[in-house]
Structure 1
Amino acid sequence: MKSGIVSIKAVLLLLCAWLAAGNAFAQSSTGHWDFGLYGNLFGSREYQVWVPAGYEQSKPLPVLLVLHGCVNGPNLMGEASGFNDVADVEGFIVVYPRQNVTANPTRCWNWQLPINQARGSGEASILAGIVDAVKTGYAVDPRRVYVTGISAGGAMTSIMLACYSDVFAAGAIHSGGMYKGATTVSGSAYALLAGSIYSPESNGKLAWQCSGSPSPRLLPVLVFHGSADATVNPVNGQQAVRQFLQTNDLADDGLDNDSVKYVPTSTVAGQVPGGRSYTVKNYSYGGRTLVQDYLVHGMGHAWSGSTSGLPFTDPQGPDATLITWLFLKDQLR
């Protein structure tokens, strides 16, 4: 129970800090957008970088790669999530790649295609290249690079965590699915409707094998899903939890020996005042929370806690943006 309570308290403390320092923040400079383009043999993608208020070239900052969902893009994703506001206060760089309409007519990341599910290949290689470009162009702490995304971006987040554990210190999957939850377009349609046909344990091993790191490491992962999600069946979130627990079971000692177990070490019930209830399952290993699973009761396919009024957001849920950052910020690669 301790891990979940600490997270909730941390959210409240951070909110209080914002209110107390409001006048100072209002008087200080705000962050700004930079724009970039990265390409390799597999194509090119535009991206936008939110450079936070007070950025200094002499002070390396964490980086958060944020992957939008379908029919979306950097500006809407930034507004819906509110990560830029958090970045201005907390001091981190936010990177928003944009999917090309030529690659997918609805701007979904093509997470279900095998070419994009491997290290150094397809869209995964482009996204990794964007991260490298940001590391070159800005003052970045390479130990504190993170990734998150929603829906198709959430499924793509699983790929980046699986295949680039040497790049990302941790990640958060919102309304997405596990690594290789589907390997065909028709298979992805079924997975969205009813969950993947593949075993999370088998895919956990595939994720471990994809890393390419000489010594794959334990990878903290946050999973966020609504219990009433009719676009991405909530079972996909459960499968992502199981898959990354299996991946971590292999990563801790190279053996499939259940050293990291699919049994929560604590379960916490929460309630947003006047809003939705939620359940948090914590899976701890080695004295820290390795996987954290948020299920928001009654929420559909949405970014939880967003007050932007944009589609695919739900203001009644817990603040997924603050919860995500608080989970990620202290993780080191």
Structure 2
Amino acid sequence: MNSGINSIKAAALVLCTWLATAASAFAAGPAGHWDVGLFGNIFGAREYQVWVPAGYDATQPLPVLLVLHGCVTGPNLMGEASGFNDVADTEGFLVVYPRQNVTANPARCWNWQLPINQARGSGEASILAGIVDQVKGSYSVDPRRVYVTGISAGGAMTSIMLACYSDVFAAGAIHSGGMYKGATTVSGSAYALLAGSIYSPDSNGRLAWQCSGSPTPRPIPVLVFHGTADSTVNPVNGQQAVRQFLQTNDLADDGLDNDSVKYVPTSTYNGQVPGGRAYRVDTYTYGGRTLAQHYVVQGMGHAWSGSQTGLPFTDPNGPDATLITWVFLKDQLR
């Protein structure tokens, strides 16, 4: 049975478990709640919100999921649109939502296209890494299970965090975003959103490998979600992100650009949401491990797939990106 089918079944199992055990999880300890924090360094300061899951026990280290919102939104809307807090209550993980400042970007977009933010220890990337470190010091965290995801500008920023902080993040998921260094100027970002990056995913895969904070950069499993009708971020950006991280992983497995990790799916699954959208899942494995998975949702625009909230930039007719993301991430260890 291929990896795509396993992922779908695993997501369904998580959902069934959630529905069956939500009441007991709530009764086992305190209710889930928001905490707020602030982190700053020489590059600036950002507020963030932490969803502390129901039943949190400071003696039990939990995974952490860093969630990066898109433009014109923030932690509360991102939490509601994605539904990650509900899954966290059942599965037991901390969810961290940084907030972009209007002073840094009037539309609250993460500035993924600026070179200062595309390097380790610099700009917004350093602030987000600092938030993760601060959360690690404030809560009981399993450092082997720290993950990152985001949508749109947050998805592009996710690529930066995965590329430059492989010693922090075990894996990540890019929703309606793009590859590492898909643009390096504001005008270049506008073109990339419209038609895809002008840069080679293979070349940028090497740049991502070089940015890694690990002395011997490790493979980074990545999930990519994109709709075929996305008019805000051209779907080719999703294809480029997959190829870029496969190239990064090709270098990371043995330090050589030798096509040990190939841009050829080891399995493909075609699915259909009952009464909703069709989708395709390409899975790329190496050494028995899934290194990349690409969900392409037919007819979906620039949206968080499967959200039932009715909020902007959500699509209730696609596969449940939230559960699929968590199933992909939860067993990855750094």
Name the TM tier (shorter chain).
over 0.9
Q: State the shift of 1:23 in Å.
A: 3.6
Matched, 1:313 2:305: no
Matched, 1:16 2:8: no
Task: Say which SS state the counterpart of residue 159 (structure 2) adopts.
Answer: helix
Structure 2 counterpart of 1:6, which letter? Answer: N
Once structures 1 and 2 are overlaid, which stretch shifts more, 33-42 or 210-219?
210-219
Correspondence for 2:196: 195
Q: State the shift of 1:14 in Å.
A: 1.6
Matches within 5 A, 1:5-44: 5-25=5-25, 27-28=27-28, 29-44=30-45
Q: Percent identity?
A: 84
What is the CA–CA distance in structure 1 between the aligned matches of 2:22 and 2:154, rounded to whole Å?
Answer: 32
Structure 2 counterpart of 1:68, which letter? Answer: H
Superimposed CA distance per residue, residues 192-213 of structure 1 (whole angstroms, 9 cap, x where no aligned partner):
0000000000000000000131
| Equivalent pair of 2:251/2:257 in contact (CA under 8 Å) | yes
Correspondence for 1:186: 187
What is the CA–CA distance in structure 1 between the aligned matches of 2:65 and 2:317, rounded to whole Å?
Answer: 25
Structure 1 counterpart of 2:85, which letter? Answer: N
Correspondence for 1:132: 133
Matches within 5 A, 1:136-215: 136-215=137-216
Task: Say which SS state the counterpart of residue 173 (structure 2) adopts.
Answer: strand
Structure 2 counterpart of 1:84, which letter? Answer: N
What is the CA–CA distance in structure 1 between the aligned matches of 2:326 and 2:243, rounded to whole Å?
Answer: 22
Task: Say which SS state the counterpart of residue 298 (structure 1) adopts.
Answer: coil
What is the CA–CA distance in structure 2 between the aligned matches of 1:25 and 1:249, rounded to whole Å?
Answer: 41
Matched, 1:288 2:270: no
Normalising to structure 2: TM-score of the pair?
0.98
Q: State the shift of 1:13 in Å.
A: 1.3
Q: State the shift of 1:12 in Å.
A: 1.4
Task: Say which SS state the counterpart of residue 248 (structure 1) adopts.
Answer: helix
What is the CA–CA distance in structure 2 between the aligned matches of 1:223 and 1:332, rounded to whole Å?
Answer: 19
Task: Say which SS state the counterpart of residue 214 (structure 2) adopts.
Answer: coil
Q: State the shift of 1:22 in Å.
A: 4.2
Superimposed CA distance per residue, residues 131-190 of structure 1 (whole angstroms, 9 cap, x where no aligned partner):
000000000000000000000000000000000000000000000000000000000000
What is the CA–CA distance in structure 2 between the aligned matches of 1:292 and 1:263, rounded to whole Å?
Answer: 11
Q: State the shift of 1:27 in Å.
A: 4.1
Q: State the shift of 1:18 in Å.
A: 2.2
Q: State the shift of 1:11 in Å.
A: 1.4
Q: State the shift of 1:21 in Å.
A: 2.4
What is the CA–CA distance in structure 2 between the aligned matches of 1:139 and 1:122, rounded to whole Å?
Answer: 27
Q: Which runs of 5+ in 2 are unaligned?
A: none
Superimposed CA distance per residue, residues 244-271 of structure 1 (whole angstroms, 9 cap, x where no aligned partner):
0000000000000000000000000000
What is the CA–CA distance in structure 2 between the aligned matches of 1:19 and 1:115, rounded to whole Å?
Answer: 44
What is the CA–CA distance in structure 1 between the aligned matches of 2:167 and 2:251, rounded to whole Å?
Answer: 15
Task: Say which SS state the counterpart of residue 21 (structure 1) adopts.
Answer: helix
What is the CA–CA distance in structure 1 between the aligned matches of 2:25 and 2:91, rounded to whole Å?
Answer: 11
* Number of residue pairs aligned between Structure 1 and Structure 2: 333
Task: Say which SS state the counterpart of residue 198 (structure 1) adopts.
Answer: coil
Normalising to structure 1: TM-score of the pair?
0.99
What is the CA–CA distance in structure 2 between the aligned matches of 1:135 and 1:22, rounded to whole Å?
Answer: 26
Superimposed CA distance per residue, residues 117-136 of structure 1 (whole angstroms, 9 cap, x where no aligned partner):
00000000000000000000
Structure 2 counterpart of 1:176, which letter? Answer: G
Correspondence for 1:59: 60
| Equivalent pair of 2:174/2:223 in contact (CA under 8 Å) | yes
What is the CA–CA distance in structure 2 between the aligned matches of 1:174 and 1:99, rounded to whole Å?
Answer: 18
Q: Which runs of 5+ in 1 are unaligned?
A: none
Once structures 1 and 2 are overlaid, which stretch shifts more, 37-46 or 18-27?
18-27
Once structures 1 and 2 are overlaid, which stretch shifts more, 11-20 or 272-281?
11-20
What is the CA–CA distance in structure 2 between the aligned matches of 1:118 and 1:57, rounded to whole Å?
Answer: 33
What is the CA–CA distance in structure 2 between the aligned matches of 1:194 and 1:283, rounded to whole Å?
Answer: 25
Superimposed CA distance per residue, residues 212-267 of structure 1 (whole angstroms, 9 cap, x where no aligned partner):
31010011000000000000000000000000000000000000000000000000
Task: Say which SS state the counterpart of residue 160 (structure 1) adopts.
Answer: helix
